[in-house]
Amino acid sequence: MNIGIDLGTQRRQVIRRVAVWRNGHPEIIPDEEGNRSFASYVSFSRDGRLVGGRAKLQQSVNPKNTIFGVKRVLGHGFRDLEIQEDIRKSPFSYVDIGGVPHIEVEVRDRKESFAPEEIIAVQLSKMVRMAEAYTGEKVHRAVVSIPPGFSRIQRQAVQDACEIAGLEEPYLLGETSAAVVYYGSYSWAGAGLGGGGEKRMLVIDVGAGTTSVSAMVTEEGVVEVVSASSNLRLGGSDFDNAHQAKARSSCERAKVLLSSSLKASVELDISGDVHYIFPISRDELNVRCESKFEAILDQAAQVVSQSSTSKSPVTKSSIQEILLVGGATRMTGIVDELKAYFSETNPSITSVRDLDEAVVFGCAIQAAVLGEGKIHGPRDWLDTILLLDVVPQSLGVAVTRGNDAGEFKTLPSDGGSPHERAFSRTLPRNSTIPTKKTETFSCSSIDGISESTVSIQVYEGESDIPTANTFLGCFELHGIRSLPNSEVRRIQVSFDIDARGRIVVTAEVVGGERGQTRSMEVRVGRMPQYEKDRLKNRAREWDALDRQYEALTQRRNNLEEYCYSFRDGVEGVHEGIAQCLQWLDDTASRSVTNGEYTVQEDSLAAALQRILPPGYIIMRTGADQAQES
């Protein structure tokens, strides 16, 4: 069985969702409390680890050991300016380990650190268990949503988290692409993907903590992303007043109400019986959020502008449909800004069904398409759907400044200062993948030297300065001989990237001797395989502890429920029941072993045996489910 997972992003109200294709449609998998969304919190205590809604309840009483929102720091260095505010405002502690932010918590009276990938892996494991419990089938593979603007390192970090969680070969799908897949499943079925012809679309996904925008072209079974961008610092939570802690939840309720009503009230519980209520209109909310709406519009305009270099540009005048995704797009101010900006061409503005769940539904559909079985019924066209993604950021190599060789840029030797180099974009941002592109360079000056070494330094980013971009790796060509008559030796560098995002960089000496070709697969993850293996083993150990903790918790709940079932219905056992309930209260804040539960059960059973009629079977509370550590 394959499943779809939506890795939502928000600072506090962090939500994950998981879905599966069943009975001809995508279906949400609820958590153990029946919730359709999964609170992505992980909390550590002396007794063990809590995940999900139960962990979120620990935030007020155990804030330093309750973790959330780590997706924002994935793929970042500890000193990156972009995440400094998150680190500074976090109620739990971040520590610098090898330049990478780790979360430090107290587990069983000692400090332990966890990589962000490990925390996300905990949540992924939980969702896999939820899916297997819900369907009775084993999960083999997952389609996981990511912001389409995620860098190569951020994407690898998500893949590492999946691997730690035991999910092999995860399929990473852009959130906007997932939403279009779901949209097409009910709006284009029967008419062919693209509604019967080529369509140029702008997809705007404003979630709780991230805004993603993609320009797309759809036609005859193909969904082609032309350009895309993501802002992990702009979303629905930014429309709430983040600086008014007491007002936050009330403001959020008012914001939701104003999506369908013209007026709402914000009620604050100041102290005791003192309350403050003030009205707020939709127009007032839109005015206060105007700068956020403009930021979304600017991002959309930038995506459209970037598509101009594509083979299939999506221009402002060519957009036929704007698809809105994410709960925050219910705000009328966003629609008003879009209508004003596109007033000359007036494209249709459509909200996808199930705004909050469209992404995970799209992931579930794509997961079914990737599975061994086929999707049957009215959505047969989904079996032939082809998703074409783009390179999120430019890929290229470092070259020396000045281009001394004329028409060819010059590759640096193994010496020289990094500050004397520039960034050559071999594969520009928003290039459609899979693709292969080759660029020809010259060697550094080798006059008077019989042999030379050329360094191929690979970067990802948009800065003209290589060191301001993300370094992906390097390799060298040795023993390059000079040519007669002072001719310049040339080297071809190729970037080959497949549909899964796997990159192979190859350098070859033009007209060189045999063996003067080298290749490097770009492995951008900062987590070595031995570390992933270590974290996998630790994850299995924690999973075993989780099962034990859950069994002990269930045993406590069963014992308490058993006590209450007899307390008011059987005369003569009040004292024994009261003693057992008092013991449960006294031990609520400490660890309890199976042996202690057995003592209480035996004592309660003895009291009941004296009162109940002969032959009455006294139930046990599940001692066989929990094992001693």
Just list the catalytic residues. 6, 71, 175, 205
How far is it, in rounded angstroms, from Cα 63 to Cα 588? 19
Q: With beta carbons less than 8 A apart as the criterion, state whether 394 and 427 touch.
A: yes
SS3 content of the chain, % helix, strand, coil (to 5): 35, 30, 35
Q: With beta carbons less than 8 A apart as the criterion, state whether 357 and 19 touch.
A: yes
Give all strands (DSSP E) within 326-415, no chain letters.
Answer: 348-351, 386-388, 395-400, 409-410
Q: With beta carbons less than 8 A apart as the criterion, state whether 279 and 305 touch.
A: no
Cα torsion 441, 445, 447, 450: sign: negative
DSSP for residue 624: G
Residues in the chain: 629
How far is it, in rounded angstroms, from Cα 293 to Cα 282? 14
Q: Which two tokens stand for residue 152?
A: 């190569």
Cα torsion 63, 65, 69, 73: sign: positive
Pairing status of strand 25-28 against strand 386-388:
unpaired
Q: Which two tokens stand for residue 344?
A: 């000359």
The torsion defined by the Cα of 289, 290, 293 and 299, in degrees rounded to 10, comes to -130
Stretch (H or E) spanning 533:
helix 529-567
Q: Distance between terminal CA atoms of the chain?
A: 33
How far is it, in rounded angstroms, from Cα 169 to Cα 164? 11
How far is it, in rounded angstroms, from Cα 264 to Cα 449? 79
Q: Which two tokens stand for residue 105?
A: 């918590």
DSSP string, 44-95: E-SS-EEETHHHHTTTTTSGGGEE--GGGGTT--TT-GGGHHHHHH-SSEEE
Q: Which two tokens stand for residue 366?
A: 């794509």
Identify the CA nearest to 20 among candidates 265, 367, 303, 252.
367
How far is it, in rounded angstroms, from Cα 230 to Cα 324? 15
